[in-house]
Amino acid sequence: MLNKIPSYTNKILNLLNESGYEAYLVGGAVRDLLLGREPGDYDITTNAKPEVVRDLALTQGWKVVDNLGQNFGCCVVVVDGIPTEVTTFRGEKYGEDAHKPEDVWYCKTLKEDLSRRDFTVNAMAMDAKGNIYDYFGGQEDLANKLLRTVGNAASRYEEDALRMFRACRFVAQLGFTYVEDNPSIGGFGMENTPYYLEKNYKFPVERTKGLSLERIRKELDKMLVAPYASKGLMLFMGTGLADAKCRVKENGNFEEIDILPELRHLVGLKQNPRFHCYDTWEHTLFAIDNSPRELLIRWALLLHDLGKGQDGIRTITDEGQPRDAGHEKRSAEDAVKIFARLRMNKDLAKLATWLVAEHMRFVGLFKIEGNAALLRWLRAEAHSGMFHNNEEMVFAFDKLTYVYLADMGATHAGFNKELMTKARELSAKLMELAREMPVANSDLNISGKEMLEFISKDRIKEAFVYLLERVQNGNLPNSNAELREALQKHSAKAQK
């Protein structure tokens, strides 16, 4: 394990030790090393004050960034071009603010410093010789794949409300089971499914009102792309965090906003057992599990069935089973509102909403032979104004095929090898045609400069319209020679 500690971190540890100070790797880096994983970064804790750390680092010619504002007792030491946070042992006291400590002070011992941390698996330290300092059972919890707070959970969450979201995120990243020493409130979800929570806990979600939207959104994004995203999302839903609020600053004033209450009605929402294994919420989790760990795809899948069960969408079949025709349109309408409220990146929001709106289009194409229906769809999208060029459209349809396959794979069809093979073949055929469908003039294999060889400048716009339409309709190959020939014939005919 010592061999995995990078040299730039060892240099800092050794410098502090040789100068008479305690210094340890701390937090997530120790956890990941014990799990045999590559840490994302390495943090150091020490009893040396920031000014001492700075002065020692400068003797080695290392760059130091100190005076980090609210980050009390911390400085960043840059060794070999790589920054490492070095923080002095400290204690904290929280007040009204849901994330910022009301008071911070230096403490004397490593144990005191570790006692303020969130979860036992993050509250361990390691010295330069590889010795582990574990005062709260972190190694045992690692071995048992449990995520547990340091001390009383309610107290930890009252101190820093963001820890509730971090709990969900760590469950999603590590695949661990969340536990508290407090009694649980029973199970949550559908029994006998991979997503069922045998023990569920109620988080003090009223504290989240003081958290910034930016912090919440970052945790949601990390949770969604994690290896065990469905486990984190189940905890997120079961503990009430989806229904919680946070705040955003607009024009100098704070405004309370909802996080994701729109997901709540999916829990326990029955689906037609002819097609579906689970309720709508657990189908959503199953689809996410089936998808690539890409933020765009996973946001689309999280919201893709929001319209199900809503008034005007849900009906009952003659067999007495639920039906949600047109739910994709309602889901997309809800997605627009959610992305706007959460101040999501506009490009991601626009494309994710399109994915939600289009994810059911494959169903009607599944049994149709030939390419005509696929081409009509592609042609309509090329004309829609959604995409600026072929590259953008191909990218979008590529993501859509993943959404479609993940959604289909989360139904009974996912256990039917023949059906899934046909679905993948349909997706491949669609992508092959999409790559050949021009969207803009720039996608044609002819330039305006070339056109000037046989038409006047004032007719170039008209020429592009003519060629683009013919290629999109499949009446003309998109090759330079054939485009030139077609335009010459068209020009000659127009001059008669």
Phi, psi angle pair for 250, to nearest 5°: -130, 125
**pLDDT above 50 (res 333):** yes
Per-residue pLDDT at 70:
52
Q: What is the mean pLDDT of the chain?
A: 93
The residue type at 313 = I
- For residue 56, the one-letter residue type is L
Show the 3-state SS of 279-337: CHHHHHHHHHHCCCCCHHHHHHHHHCCCCCCCCCCCEECCCCCEECCCHHHHHHHHHHH
Q: Between these two residues, 3 and 234, which has the higher pLDDT value?
A: 234
- As a whole number of angstroms, the longest Cα–Cα distance in the chain is 95
From residue 252, how far is each of 99, 218, 223, 477 by CA, in Å? 19, 22, 30, 57
CA distance 338 to 316: 28
Report for 3-7, 71-75, 434-438, 489-493: range of highest mean pLDDT: 434-438
- Tell me if 396 sits within 8 A of 387, measured CB to CB: yes
Q: Which of 92-101, 228-237, 296-305, 377-386 has the lowest mean pLDDT?
A: 92-101
Rounded to an integer, the average pLDDT of 436-456 is 93
Please give the model's pTM, rounded to 2 decimal places. Answer: 0.93
Per-residue model confidence as pLDDT tens digits over 67-85: 664 567 889 999 999 999 9
Which of the pair, 336 or 250, is modelled with greater confidence?
336
Mean pLDDT in residue range 429-438: 96
Going by pLDDT thresholds of 50, 70 and 90, the confidence category of residue 95 is: low
Instruction: Give the pLDDT mean for 108-133.
Output: 95
Helix axes 162-174 and 229-238, enclosed angle (nearest 10):
150
Output the 3-class SS for 7-44.
HHHHHHHHHHHHCCCCEEEECHHHHHHHCCCCCCCCEE
> Based on C-alpha coordinates, what's the Rg of the chain?
28
Specify whether the CB–CB gap between 379 and 473 falls below 8 A. Answer: yes
Q: Which amino acid is at 472?
A: Q
Give the per-residue pLDDT at 69: 47
Give residue-wise pLDDT tens across range 145-174.
999 999 999 989 988 999 999 999 999 999
Mean pLDDT to the nearest integer, 246-250: 93
Extract the tokens encoding 473: 């309709």
pLDDT of residue 71: 65
Quick one: angle between helices 295-303 and 346-358, nearest 10? 50
Percent of the chain at pLDDT > 70 equals 96
Alpha carbon distance 320, 313 (integer Å)? 15
Closest by CA to 303, choosing from 337, 272, 258, 269, is: 337
Query: In what order do the strands lie in the sheet containing 23-26?
Result: 63-65, 74-79, 82-88, 43-46, 23-26, 124-126, 132-134
